[in-house]
Structure 1
Amino acid sequence: MQNTTKTYTVQEATKKMEHYCAYQERCHKEVNQKLYDMRMIPEAADVIIVHLIENNYLNEERFAMAFARGKFRIKHWGRVRISLELKKRGLSKININRALLEIENEEYNEVFNALAEKKVDTLKESDVFKKRKKFIEYFLYRGWESHLVYEKAHELIK
C-alpha cells in the first residue's frame, strides 16, 4: 500500500494559504496548524507565513478585532470569555486589549441587560437560590464579568 498523502510545493502551499486567509480572518496559530497538517517543513512554513503577513493576508490585530466583534454580536459572549479565547489562540495582550475596545460600553451593557431579562423569564425554578445559581452560571460561562452578573441576579431574582 503506497502513501497517498499529498505533498505541496512552497508555491502551491502559499496559494492555498492565501485562499485560506482570504476566506476568513485567521490567527498565526491556525495558519501554523494548517501548514503543519499539510506536512510543510518549518522553514517552508516560516517563508509562507512571512509572505502572508507582508501581503496583508494575515494580520493578528485585524483577526482579534473581527473575532471580538463576532463573538459578542453573534454568540453574545462577554469580555472575559473573548479575552480567554484570544489568549488561547496565542494573541498578544496589546491585540486582545485593542479587540476589546471594539465593543462599546453602552452596547455591551444594553446586550447584557436584554439577555438577563430574557434569561430570567426562561428559568423554570421555584427556589430563589437555585434560580439565581442557574442564572449566574449561565452568564459566567459566557464570560460576562462577575460583578455585573451578581448585581443583575440579585436585582432580577428576588
Structure 2
Amino acid sequence: MDRLILQKAASYCAYQERTQEEVRQRLRKWNVWGEEADELIAELISMNYLSEERFAKTYAGGKFRIKNWGRMKIKQELQRRGISTYSIQQGMNEIGDQAYVENLRILLQKKKDLLSKTETDPFKLKQKLARFALGKGYESELVWKELESL
C-alpha cells in the first residue's frame, strides 16, 4: 500500500466527511483501483478518517439546519449515496421532532409572507405552500396539518 496515497486520502477525508464511494472515486482519479483501493478504504476506516455513520449524522444535521430540508429528502439523498439503512437511521436521529415541526412552521410562514403579496386566492396560496414544503422533503400529513393551523 502506497503511504503517500494513504496520506492524501486521509487529508481528503479530514477536510470534510466523505462517503466510501466519494473516496473510491477520488482514488480512481489517482489511478488506484480494485484491491488496493479496498485496502486503503479499510485502512481509512480503521484510522477513523472514514465513517459512514458520522457522514450520515453530519449530512442530515447540516441539510436540516442549513438548507431546511425535510426528512424524506435527506433520507432519499443518503440512500442515493449508498449509505446503509442503519447509518441513515442514525443520521435521522440527529433531527429532533420538536425542532423539525418548528422548522416547517417557520419555513411555511416565511413563504406565506412572501407569496401573499402576489397570491390573493387562499386556495391557490395553500396549494403553493404545500408544493413548496413537499419539494423540501417534508411529509404530506405534517405539511397539511401545519397549513391548517397557519
C-alpha RMSD of matched pairs (Å): 1.4
- 1:98 pairs with 2:90: yes
Specify which of 32, 38, 47 is matched with residue 40 of structure 1. 32
Query: Which of these residues, 129, 147, 150, is aligned with residue 153 of structure 1?
Result: 147
Matched, 1:77 2:69: yes
Secondary structure in structure 2 of the residue aligned to 1:74: helix
Structure with bigger helix share is 2
Larger-gyration structure (1/2): 1
More displaced 10-residue stretch of structure 1: 31-40 or 16-25: 31-40
Cα displacement (A) at 1:55? 0.3
Aligned partner of 2:49 in structure 1 is: 57
Q: Does 1:125 align with 2:105?
A: no
Q: Are 1:136 and 2:136 matched, yes or no?
A: no
Shift in Å, 1:95: 0.8
Instruction: Output the amino acid matched with 2:121.
Output: D
TM-score, reference length from structure 1? 0.88
Q: How many pairs does the alignment contain?
A: 148
Unaligned ranges ≥5, structure 2: none
- 1:79 Cα offset (Å): 0.6
Tell me the CA shift for residue 84 of structure 1. 0.5
TM-score by length of 2: 0.92
- Percent identity between matched residues is 43
Query: 1:26 corresponds to which residue?
Result: 18
Tell me whether 53-62 or 147-156 shows the greater mean CA deviation: 147-156
Letter of the 1:144 partner, please give it: Y
**Structure 1 residue ranges (4+ consecutive) displaced by more than 6 angstroms after TM superposition:** none
The corresponding residue for 1:5 is: none
1:41-73 CA deviation, whole Å, 9 max, x = no partner?
A: 212111110110010000101110011111111
